[in-house]
Structure 1
Amino acid sequence: MIRVRVATVCGTDIRIFRGRKTMGVRYPSILGHEFAGDIVDTGGRAEFAVGDRVGLCPAIPCGQCHRCKRGAENLCAEGMNFGYEIDGGFAEYVRVPAKAVDAGNVRKLPATMTFGEAALVEPLSCVLNGQEQVNLGFADVVVIVGAGPIGLLHVLLAKLRGAMRILVSDPNANRREAALKFGADVVIDPTSEDVAHRVRAETDGRGADVVICAIGVPALARQATDLAAHGGRVSLFAGFSKGDMSEMDINAIHYNQITVTGAFGLSRRNFDDAFDMVASGRLNVAQLITDTFPLEETARAFEVAESGSAIKVAIENA
């Protein structure tokens, strides 16, 4: 049993709350899949002690299905996830199934790692999975569409992975400023500039090696192929609402040999890698948290997160 200390609000939490995402969600359910806390009951597990500060990988794959056996446990259809099928972190306490403990989903925090940082390991894990799908690496020119918390995590990680140049498009001036702070080289206001034209101008007419769609707006999926170079890779990273559809330029995909891929969730390997990055100080994720609310003001926290005035909203259980 974990006493939750910090849980952060994800865009998926808002979509579930608003009824725009229903697949895989048990109703009624306590939301929250990004959280950390301390152990109040070990359940007899000798490897843990009451008071241990821990982070938690929220995905519990079955380990037996075809997808799990082929190394795609993030796509497991038989597994469980905190905040979806299992009550999540927007609560005082969370019960952790023995299966999750056995699988190594619970990680002790080093003394230097805060609960807020530990809560942000989950979204960073998803971002890591997304960048692996498009093989983002050294010397790539990267365009990130959307500078919300996920887009900013993409900036941080792309820089760490050796991207040569990072361009970010977002209509929100505060978020464009944050993108520069997080390491973007160029920011673009799509309300006053032609994004494709600006990307071509910044890349000698070539386009981006990697385009990451970090906001769930269907029209932006179509735009992403316009921003990619010949042989470029496009990640439709953000989740879209149920029923959303988008047109794609199939000739551009075919003749320019563009790879388009999705990226869903995280594996335990992603979680462990992201955890170690944060624990070692290689990535400063704490700077994402701009607003904090007590547990009893969770509804207000959701409002602020949905408004776009904050970057990352945290809920504290003191």
Structure 2
Amino acid sequence: MKAAVLTAPNEISLDDIVAPVVSPGDVLIRVKAATICGTDIRIYRGKKTAGVRYPSVLGHEFAGEVIDGGGHEGLKAGDRVGLCPFIACGECHLCKTGHENLCTSGTAVGYEIDGAFAEAIRIPAQAVRAGNLRHLPDHMSYDEAALVEPLSCVLNGQNKVGVSSADTVVILGAGPIGLLHTYLARLRGAARIIVSDPNQHRRDAALAAGANAVVDPRSDDVTARVLEETGGRGADVVICAIGVPALARQATDLAAFGGRISLFAGFSKGESAEMDVNAIHYRELTVTGAFGLSRKDYDRAFDMVASGQLDLGPLITHRYPLAEIGEALATAEAGEAIKVVVHND
């Protein structure tokens, strides 16, 4: 079968590889749509190396059609499905205390297990038994289903900082993740949403997604603008939706007394950031990270999309066939696209 194989940092090519070997209970899925994540780009460029093996097949945001249901009840060839792509062990202290997204014995689809930038993907029996697969309703497209995974991560992040209807939320970065944060904050009834991004196209997308105001950090003083928009109070919640270390310091400048800061985006290995520790202390700021997703996050995000509470279709701006994986990655990395889908029609 055809697959985009990563053999080393910056080296990926479309190759013929042996189809996945399916053990008893495993499920084989024909990939129909896989979206490109910032993590895929970081792995491709060698900026994320933990757990990455070579050669491997990237791609963890996807949906597809069952080829072999592995003998599981209620799962048969032709079924349309999406997947929560992190397979927690279910046995460790973290899993048992409600933190399965942090499970250190878990397995990530997309590099530890070959991922979805391929014609087909094997889902281990353990993931199927744990409930990681969800059937798509007829009205839910493969493209929409692929976006459930990043929405799940965003949901995890917003739960960590408790975004609610009384909040002014500032989102730093209007890439795909920043826009998903905008959509979700609007759904949660945030009182005011302010988004900062240097890209005009993405600022426009943020307004369309529900932002009340946008800021160009190249020409505007973001802190002054946020204080102006909030009557001098600052933001209840600040979300760093892009992995730029300098934004961590900016977040402490933007947060109101008692504010909450989410260092949501992943940073490259070895990077560090300066934060205003006096602001954290005297203004009683809460600073939290947010990593990955749990099956509970995935199920809640899936239901939001399936029920029509969130329409994520406008996020998809570019579609490429698997044969053009190089162009697809380049488009996603260039920053002009919002969400890029790799498809097998």
Deviation at 1:306, TM superposition (A): 0.2
Deviation at 1:178, TM superposition (A): 0.4
1:264 counterpart residue number: 291
What is the alpha-carbon distance in structure 2 between the residues aligned to residue 24 and residue 301 of structure 1? 24
Tell me, yes or no, if structure 1 residue 181 matches structure 2 residue 208.
Answer: yes
Deviation at 1:28, TM superposition (A): 1.9
What is the alpha-carbon distance in structure 1 between the residues aligned to residue 313 and residue 51 of structure 2? 30
Code of the residue aligned with 1:39 in structure 2: it is V
Query: Identity percentage over the alignment?
Result: 67
Tell me, yes or no, if structure 1 residue 226 matches structure 2 residue 253.
Answer: yes
Aligned partner of residue 57 in structure 2, secondary structure:
coil
Tell me, yes or no, if structure 1 residue 200 matches structure 2 residue 230.
Answer: no
1:215 counterpart residue number: 242
What is the alpha-carbon distance in structure 2 between the residues aligned to residue 93 and residue 280 of structure 1? 28
What is the alpha-carbon distance in structure 1 between the residues aligned to residue 81 and residue 313 of structure 2? 16
In the TM superposition, what are the counterparts of 1:144-163 in structure 2 within 5 Å?
144-163=171-190
What is the alpha-carbon distance in structure 1 between the residues aligned to residue 294 and residue 82 of structure 2? 15
What is the alpha-carbon distance in structure 2 between the residues aligned to residue 256 and residue 145 of structure 1? 20
Aligned length: 318
Aligned partner of residue 118 in structure 1, secondary structure:
helix
2:11 counterpart residue number: none
Gaps of 5+ in 2: 1-27
1:248 counterpart residue number: 275
Code of the residue aligned with 1:150 in structure 2: it is I
What is the alpha-carbon distance in structure 1 between the residues aligned to residue 92 and residue 254 of structure 2? 37
What is the alpha-carbon distance in structure 2 between the residues aligned to residue 81 and residue 104 of structure 1? 15
Aligned partner of residue 20 in structure 1, secondary structure:
coil
Code of the residue aligned with 2:250 in structure 1: it is Q
In the TM superposition, what are the counterparts of 1:268-287 in structure 2 within 5 Å?
268-287=295-314
Code of the residue aligned with 2:330 in structure 1: it is E
Code of the residue aligned with 2:185 in structure 1: it is A
Deviation at 1:162, TM superposition (A): 1.3
Deviation at 1:2, TM superposition (A): 0.2
What is the alpha-carbon distance in structure 2 between the residues aligned to residue 227 and residue 173 of structure 1? 22
What is the alpha-carbon distance in structure 2 between the residues aligned to residue 309 and residue 303 of structure 1? 10
Tell me, yes or no, if structure 1 residue 119 matches structure 2 residue 156.
Answer: no
Tell me, yes or no, if structure 1 residue 133 matches structure 2 residue 160.
Answer: yes
2:323 counterpart residue number: 296
Aligned partner of residue 247 in structure 2, secondary structure:
helix
What is the alpha-carbon distance in structure 1 between the residues aligned to residue 101 and residue 69 of structure 2? 27
What is the alpha-carbon distance in structure 2 between the residues aligned to residue 303 and residue 270 of structure 1? 30
What is the alpha-carbon distance in structure 1 between the residues aligned to residue 48 and residue 130 of structure 2? 28
2:130 counterpart residue number: 103
What is the root-mean-square deviation in Å for CA atoms of aligned residues? 0.6
Give a deviation string over 1:105-129, Cα, whole Å, max 9, x none: 1110000100000000000000000
Give a deviation string over 1:88-116, Cα, whole Å, max 9, x none: 01000001110000001111000010000
1:36 counterpart residue number: 63
Aligned partner of residue 56 in structure 2, secondary structure:
coil
Tell me, yes or no, if structure 1 residue 164 matches structure 2 residue 153.
Answer: no
Aligned partner of residue 181 in structure 2, secondary structure:
helix
